[in-house]
């Protein structure tokens, strides 16, 4: 499984995302995360970045809405209650990782 975390330089949401991702990956020592900073719209589109931070699992953003445009903007995530935050919940990350592992 290939996990890539895409961020813009100095992304204020990156630390919270990293913390939740680490919690979601607890017990999966073989999974590594590649981190990549992106500062160009063209590169963001090529990489599949839908705002910062974006997690790609095997090259796909499991949290992107269909047709969502590539972006360097700050990205907010919605939880089950509709609240916004800097990252998906730990449980949402676990589910996305598990779904990719089952595929």
Per-residue pLDDT tens over the stretch 85-94: 999 999 999 9
Report the mean per-residue pLDDT for the chain.
Answer: 93
pTM of the model: 0.93
- What number of CA atoms fall less than 13 Å from residue 46's CA on the CB side? 7
Min mean pLDDT across 3-7, 39-43, 97-101 is at 97-101
Collect all residues with Cβ–Cβ distance below 8 Å to 72 and sequence separation of at least 6. Answer: 8, 38, 39, 40, 41, 44, 49, 51, 52
Q: What is the pLDDT of residue 103?
A: 56
The topology (CATH level 3) of 3-102 is Glutaredoxin (3.40.30)
């Amino acid at each position: 499984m290939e996990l890539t975390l895409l961020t813009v330089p100095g992304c204020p949401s990156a630390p919270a995302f990293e913390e939740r991702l680490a919690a979601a990956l607890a017990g999966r020592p073989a999974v590594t995360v590649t981190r990549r900073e992106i500062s160009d719209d063209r590169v963001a589109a090529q990489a599949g970045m839908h705002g910062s931070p974006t997690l790609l699992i095997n090259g796909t953003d499991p949290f992107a809405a269909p047709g969502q445009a590539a972006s360097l903007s700050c990205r907010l995530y919605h939880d089950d209650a509709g609240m916004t935050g800097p990252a998906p919940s730990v449980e949402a990350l676990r589910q996305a990782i598990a779904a990719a592992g089952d595929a």
